[in-house]
Structure 1
Amino acid sequence: MAATGSFRTLDSDEIENSNLTWKDHEPIMGSQLASHTKSKATKELGESKETTESSLKNLRRLFQELDQEDEASKRLKEQFENASDQELVKFLRARKFDVPRTLELMKGYVKYRLTYPHVFTGVNLEKLKQRVARGQPGVLPQRDNEGRVVMFFRFEDWDPVEYPFIEAVQTLVYVLEKLLSSEVTQINGLCLVEDFEGYSMTHVASVGLNDYKTMVDMLQGSFPCRFKGIHCIRQPWFFTKSYNLIKPLLKAKLFERIYIYGEELDDFYNHFPKEYLPKELGGSGPEYKGNEMVQMLFNDDDNQDDVTSL
């Protein structure tokens, strides 16, 4: 389905001197870059026509030098040797056009699929749509003040027996791939809000260390995405039991981007204004319309054969 919506066009003085709001940014699945997004790509990522061309050339040269005896390197070369420039730029942006670091990210992308094949097989398209519609995970319909996509997961209605954790990871991975088809998201990045209202000991017992590792490894060096923050709200006192399992798995960069608020949400609203957030996440905006988000994310030509093996 084609992206809809509009954004306000800013002149150069506004870009330099004003604070952008969530009303100023491109649609979630939009492909047209606003002037302020182009400016951000230049300033934050060092992106330019010359940098892009030279980086692509050097990256393709490194493909030819990969060790073919290493399974991940062999798979990487097979998958990306003939990839389009557009596909490779997605990875380059995630590492600010640092070519050696980009190659390591691509290795991580391939290794993750080799290590966790169960994340990418046996995926059901209709179930994916149902989960997104229920906000497990969901995607807010507009970008935040910084132009980032905001995904969220609500634990209140999560039945871990009906919907095992690994299926939540499958849905997250599939939706991420969809979102990263937008160049705007490649540049601005993505945040995740975890709403722990309704979180119970049943939820705690249903997720083991290996499950958490599957999720954390995806967030750390295995995806061409600029993960800008994980925001945890309304968590109960026993949340620390789960968090203490996760902390040893976290690298410093991701650890520093985890924000824990509890029931006091004033600081949370400093990141995400109440009028931007739906009622389900403590905001004053409209309710989350999951079916509309499904229509936005899933094209008419998506089919089960495309999803069964991500």
Structure 2
Amino acid sequence: MAELNIRRISAELQKIANEQLNEVPAHIGDDIAALRTWIKQQPHLRARDDDQFLLSFLRGCKFSLEKAKGKIDKYYTLRTKYPDFFGAYDADDAMVRTIINAGIILLLPKPLHEHGARIILIRQGALPADKYTIEHFIRAASHLQEIIIREDDHAIISGMISIVDIEDCTTGHVMQMTPSNMKKMSVHAEEAVPLRPQQQHFIHIPSGFETVFNAMRPFMSKKQQNRISVHAEKLDRFYEHVPLSYLPVEYGGNNGTIAEIINYTNKQLDDYRAYFKENKNYGTDESLRSGKPIDFESLFGVEGSFRKLEVD
């Protein structure tokens, strides 16, 4: 078998992968080969199949081959059907850069406790609600997700912690979170990307937010609901999960400045310019899918019903 083209990881991350993700280093080559063979056998699916990409999906599915198949299928299915949301095709997309330059999505440089989860800070109020839409936000996030899948071993192996700062959010921001948008985001996050969300913290909660939040809960999976913590004015309990030092300088920590993180993220997008253009070569064709085509309207209906995609 040809030598695998995958990154070396630290001994600490390898230990986590072995113990928590069921990774057996001696079997990785066979697992990747099996997944690649399955992709080639799917007439409806055009997917990337390089070693590092497939390994991220295997790790994100704790080396369950069937789960990895399902996530890859859904990853490309949702991207093809909803490119305005999940498409990652253009590093120079003006609205993607607007979201990044406003500091709405910040991937903090230092993972938790050195070998722990990657921390993402979301500041949707950093830009007025009339300057961007939820589609723009999700599309920007999808570009960053693909970079994470390819590059960020901490996020793939140790997972991710999301911090949502809604201090500057307005009614306009909240109104964009329609049931249909919530369902798309929920299904994509849970069913289509190989990232391992560990915790989600909402901080700087204004009065009345919990009522809005409770209305959103039905559109989240039980797993997603159980990961969420809501923090009002005092952040002592939040700091027990994410110590202050792991936040950006502007928040009192030492995990980079917002300007530094924005600059680095823009450089990443620049570096991936050709890669994202290549993404147009990948996707799904439902007319070629074996069995019954997916009924997208009922899949993401406003009523909130969701039937799992059928995969071989």
Separation in 2, partners of 1:271, 1:133:
28
8 Å Cα contact 2:95-2:136 kept in structure 1: no
8 Å Cα contact 1:188-1:226 kept in structure 2: yes
Matched, 1:217 2:183: no
TM-score where L is the length of structure 1: 0.77
Matched, 1:59 2:35: yes
Which residue is equivalent to 2:268? Answer: 297
Which residue is equivalent to 1:172? Answer: 141
Which residue is equivalent to 2:50? Answer: 84
| 1:54, distance to aligned residue in structure 2 (A) | 2.9
Which residue is equivalent to 2:208? Answer: 238
1:246-294 deviation per Cα after TM superposition (whole angstroms, max 9, x unaligned): 2112222221111211222112111211122124446466632244322
Q: Which one-letter code corresponds to 2:189 in the other structure?
A: L
Separation in 2, partners of 1:262, 1:300:
39
1:202-224 deviation per Cα after TM superposition (whole angstroms, max 9, x unaligned): 22223322222222222111112
8 Å Cα contact 1:274-1:285 kept in structure 2: no
Matches within 5 A, 1:61-210: 61-63=37-39, 66=42, 68=43, 74-75=44-45, 78-80=46-48, 83-119=49-85, 120=87, 124-145=92-113, 146-182=115-151, 184=153, 185-210=155-180
The residue matched to 2:258 in structure 1 has which SS? coil
Separation in 2, partners of 1:192, 1:121:
21
Separation in 1, partners of 2:160, 2:179:
25
The residue matched to 1:298 in structure 2 has which SS? helix
Separation in 2, partners of 1:204, 1:134:
18
TM-score where L is the length of structure 2: 0.76
Q: Which one-letter code corresponds to 1:147 in the other structure?
A: G
8 Å Cα contact 1:279-1:286 kept in structure 2: yes
The residue matched to 1:118 in structure 2 has which SS? helix
Change (3 A) 1:307 1:232: farther
8 Å Cα contact 1:197-1:235 kept in structure 2: yes
Which residue is equivalent to 1:39? Answer: 15
1:87-108 deviation per Cα after TM superposition (whole angstroms, max 9, x unaligned): 2111111011111111121222
Contiguous gaps of at least 5 residues in structure 2: 1-6, 283-312
Change (3 A) 1:118 1:198: same
Separation in 1, partners of 2:252, 2:171:
23
| 1:244, distance to aligned residue in structure 2 (A) | 2.8
With 283-292 and 169-178 compared, the bigger mean Cα shift is at 283-292
Separation in 1, partners of 2:139, 2:227:
23
8 Å Cα contact 2:247-2:255 kept in structure 1: yes
Separation in 1, partners of 2:248, 2:40:
49
| 1:133, distance to aligned residue in structure 2 (A) | 3.1
Change (3 A) 1:199 1:103: same
8 Å Cα contact 1:105-1:223 kept in structure 2: yes
Change (3 A) 1:272 1:248: same
Q: Which one-letter code corresponds to 1:223 in the other structure?
A: V
Contiguous gaps of at least 5 residues in structure 1: 1-30, 69-73
| 1:156, distance to aligned residue in structure 2 (A) | 3.3
The residue matched to 2:198 in structure 1 has which SS? strand
Which residue is equivalent to 2:198? Answer: 228
| 1:238, distance to aligned residue in structure 2 (A) | 2.4
Which residue is equivalent to 1:278? Answer: 248
Change (3 A) 1:308 1:165: farther
Which residue is equivalent to 1:306? Answer: 277
Identity, in percent, stands at 21
8 Å Cα contact 2:183-2:220 kept in structure 1: no
Separation in 1, partners of 2:272, 2:256:
29
Aligned length in residues: 270
8 Å Cα contact 1:106-1:222 kept in structure 2: yes
8 Å Cα contact 1:132-1:293 kept in structure 2: no
Q: Which one-letter code corresponds to 2:237 in the other structure?
A: D
1:286-306 deviation per Cα after TM superposition (whole angstroms, max 9, x unaligned): 632244322452344626972
